[in-house]
Amino acid sequence: MSRDLLIEIGTEELPPKALKRLMQAFEEGVSEGLKKAELSFASIHPFATPRRLALLIKGLAEQTPDKAIEKRGPAVQAAFDEEGCPTKAAEGFARSCGVSVEDLEKLETPKGSWLVFRHQQKGQPANGLIAAVITAALDHLPIPKRMRWGSGEAQFVRPVHWVVLLFGEEVIDAEILGIKTGRNSRGHRFHHPENISIPVPADYEVLLESSGRVIADFARRRQTIKAQTEKAALQLEGEAVIDESLLDEVTAMVEWPVAVAGNFEERYLQVPAEALVSTMSTNQKYFHLVDQQGKLLPHFITISNIESRDPERVREGNERVIRPRFADAEFFWNQDRKQSLAHHISELQSVVFQQKLGSLYDKTQRMAKLAGNIAEQLGGDKLLAMRAAELSKCDLMTQMVGEFPSLQGIMGRYYALHDGEDPLVAQAIDDHYRPRFAGDTLPQEVIGQAVALADRLDSLVGIFAIGQIPSGDKDPYALRRAALGVLRILIEKQIDLDLHQLLQQAAGHYKRELCASKAVAPVMAFILDRLRAYYHEQGIPADVLDAVTALHLPRPVDIDKRIHAVSTFRKLPQAESLAAANKRIGNILKKVKGKLPGNVDAALFQEAGEKNLYASLTALSKSVSPLLEKGDYEAALQKLAELREPVDNFFDEVMVMDENKTLRDNRIALLNQLHGLFLQVADISRLQK
C-alpha cells in the first residue's frame, strides 16, 4: 500500500540566489533519507518560491518491508556444558534476544555449529519515520548562517511560519523547526494571505495557483517569466537579453510573476552600455533590451510580484528608481574623462596590492616587464604590451569603477580609447581580466594575452613567495582561478611557451630580498595540478593525465597534445597489453642495481622473440622519430601500437633475467630502449584497464 506525501516548509522570504540550490538539496536530502529508511516511492517533485520549500512524493510506501532477522550467538560447544545444560553465554544471548534458550536454533557452518536467533521483523509505519527524515534533510541544507527567531531553539535560513505534512488525507502529527505540522498552506502575501487547506497532496499545486495566486513550481514559474519577458520585448520591437543566472534569481523573488515594461531617456545611451546594463541587472534585476544589431534600447522589463490594478504606477515607480542611478553613471562618465587614464598611474602607489609585495603601482611595473617579454616571444609589440600593463589597473581609480566594481577593465578600455591610446592597448586593458569566470572567453590579441598572463603569473609567484599558499577552502587571492586562467590561455590559444621559464621571469622582477625564485617550483606544481579539473570536465580519464604529467613537462600546449594522443591510444585494442608490458618493463628496470646497460648488441640475441622485437623496434624508431620531432604524438602512438605482437611474443619466449650476465644485460638494454621510446610521448604504464 502507498500514499502521496506532501511536505511544505513556509518561511519568510528566502535568499533569492540560494533558493534553487536549497530546493535541490532539500529534494536530494529527503530522497536519500527515505531510501535509507527503506521507504520506497514512485517519484519526487520539488517546489520552491520565495516563501516556501516543498516536495510532493508520489507512491510512498505506508511502511518499510518486513525483514528476516538472523542474529548469531555463541558456538554450540560454548553454549552448553558437558551435561547439556545451557551455559551463562547461551542464557545471556537468549535474554538479549528476548527469548528462552529453547527458542534458539542451531546454525551449521563449515567452521562449526552456532546458536542463532531467527525471527521476522515487521515493517515500521512510514508516518513514524517521515518527520525524522525531513529534519535530517533540513539540518544538512547548504546554509552558511542559520538564524533563530522568537523564543524557540529552532534554527533555519529564515523564520518558519507554517509546516504542511500530509500523508494521503492524514496529517502526520509532528513538530518541525519548532512548528506543529498541519494541512494549511498560505497563498500570495498580498493576493491571498489567508490559509489554504490542502485536502490531499495531489491538490497542492493546483490549489496554490487557482486560490492562492502562487505558481509553486520553480521551473514552470521560470518559463512563465521568460515567455512574458520575450513577449513584452517584441511589443517594444526589441529583443530581451535574458541571462540565465539573473532569470534564476528573478524566479526566486516572485510567486506570481507579471512582466512590466519601462523606459528611460535616450540621452543615457551616451553612457557605455555596460554601465547601464550593470545597473539594470545587478541593482534592479531588470532585463535589458537590444535591437537587431545588438545595440542597447532605452527600455527595460521588470518582473513584478503582484498583478496591480494600476500597472502604470508600477511602471512609473520602476522608472523613477532607475533614473538617479543612470544620472550617477552619466556624471561619473563625464567626470572621469576630464583626466586621462595615464594620470592615475602615480595614484596606484597609494593602493596596496599586498603589504609584503607592494602597491598596485609596483605590481603593474612588474607586469609591464613580464608582459613585454611574453609579447616579444609571441611576435607582438613589446612596447604596446608594456603600455597596456602600466594602464591595466588605472581605471580602479575612476569614479565609475568605484561605484560599479564589476566594470573594471571594461571602463579602462573606454577611457583609453577616449585618450587616443592604441586600440590594441585599450582592448588589452579589458581583456587582461579574461577569463573572469568558468567558461568565459579568452583574450583574442597577443597584447591582451601577454598582459593577462603577466598579471596572473606575478600574483601566483608573489603570493607563494610570502607563504600564503591556498589550503582547503581558503584562497583569498583566487590563485586557483588564476592558475586555471593561465592554463586556458596557453592551451586554448595555442601559446607554446615554457611555463617554467615564464615563472622564473616573473620571479626575477621581484626584489632580491623576497627570494621569489624559491616559489617557482611549488607554483609550477600548483598550476599543473589544475589540469586534473580542466581535463576532467572534458571527460578525459585521470590515468591519461597521470601518464603525461609523470614526465614533468614544462609546456602546457605540448602536454595538451600528448594528453589527447594518449586518450586516443587508450581506446586501441593494443593499448591494454602494451600498458601492462610497459609496467612490467618499468618494474624490471627498477630492480637493476647501478647504471642501466647501454647499447644493444644484436649479435647476442638467441631467441626468435628478442630478434623480432629488436627488428620491429629498429624499424619503427626510424618512422616514429620524425613524428615525435614535429609533435605528432597521436600518429607516433598509432605506429608504436604495432609493437604489441612482438612485445607479447618477447615476454612469452624470452627469459629476461638470464643467469648469463651478458645475455641478461643485453635484454635489459633492449627493454630500456623500448621503454624510452614510449616515454618520448608518455608513461603508458600508468594507464588503467
pLDDT given at position 438? 87
Contact 333, 411 (CB under 8 A): no
Q: How far is CA 235 from the centre of its chain?
A: 39
Q: What is the pTM of this model?
A: 0.83
Q: Where in the chain is the domain with CATH 3.30.70?
A: 2-64+126-210
CA distance 510 to 501: 15
Comparing CA positions, the residue from 480, 473, 435, 431 lying closest to residue 459 is 480
> Max Cα separation, the chain?
110
SS3 11: strand
CATH 1.10.3210 placement within the chain: 342-529
Place of cell 538564524: 147
Architecture of domain 574-686: Orthogonal Bundle (1.10)
Measured between alpha carbons, how far is 176 from 161 in angstroms, rounded to an integer? 11
- The 10s digit of each residue's pLDDT in 427-459 is 999 999 999 988 899 999 999 999 999 999 999
Q: Quick one: pLDDT at residue 593?
A: 78
Nearest-angstrom CA–CA distance, 578 and 584? 10
C-alpha cell at 84: 547439556
Q: Count the neighbouring beta carbons within 10 Å of the beta carbon of residue 568.
A: 15
Contact 429, 435 (CB under 8 A): no
DSSP conformation letters of 177-210: TTEE-BSEEE--TTT--SEEE-SSGGGHHHHHHH
Decide if 615 contacts 674 (C-beta within 8 A): no
Range(s) within the chain of domains with CATH label 1.10.730: 574-686
Under the phi-then-psi rule, with left for phi > 0, alpha for psi from -120 to 50, and beta for the rest, what region is 117? beta
CATH fold of the domain at 2-64+126-210: Alpha-Beta Plaits (3.30.70)
CA 304 to chain CA centroid, Å, is: 33
CA distance 351 to 396: 10
3-class secondary-structure state, position 135: helix
State residue 381 phi and psi, 5-degree precision.
-80, 115
Bridge partners, 679 (sequence order) = none
Name the helix (H) or strand (E) containing 370.
helix 360-377
Give the whole-angstrom CA distance, residue 626 versus residue 164: 73
Segments of the chain scoring below 50 in pLDDT: none
From residue 539, how far is each of 179, 534, 562, 645, 660 by CA, in Å?
46, 9, 15, 30, 48
C-alpha cell at 496: 607554446
**Are the beta carbons of 52 and 199 closer than 8 angstroms?**
no
Q: Please answer whether residues 147 and 155 qualify as being in contact, where contact means their C-beta atoms are separated by less than 8 angstroms.
A: yes
**Closest to 619 (Cα-Cα) out of 600, 635, 598, 643:** 643
Beta carbons within 8 Å of 511's beta carbon, 6+ residues apart: none
Domain 342-529 adopts which CATH fold?
Hypothetical protein af1432 (1.10.3210)
- Supply the pLDDT for residue 313: 94
The residue type of 567 is: S
Cis, peptide link before residue 435, omega less than 30° from 0: yes
Would you state the pLDDT for residue 654? 85
Give a three-class secondary structure readout of 94-134. HHHHCCCHHHCEEEEECCEEEEEEEEEECCCEHHHCHHHHH
